[in-house]
Amino acid sequence: MDTFKKVIYEDNKQFLEMICKDLYSDNDVESFLDKYHKKNYSYFQPNVNDVKLFHKKRIKNTKK
């Protein structure tokens, strides 16, 4: 989980830097990054899709 947090943290930083370069001058970039780029601001939430339910519905529909 920690490796995902690190990757997300770095990815968010790069994304915010791209936004800063487009919208703000060089002086405001640091303040923008300090304001919006925080540690543990985002997290990885695992998602489990139940494929069995999908197959059960398909089988049920074919029986009709």
pLDDT at 25: 80
List pLDDT tens digits, range 8-57: 888 888 988 898 888 888 778 888 888 888 776 666 666 666 667 777 77
For 16-58, the DSSP string reads HHHHHHHHS-HHHHHHHHHHH--TTSS--------HHHHHHHH
pLDDT at 28: 83
pLDDT at 26: 78
pTM: predicted TM-score of the whole model, two decimal places: 0.54
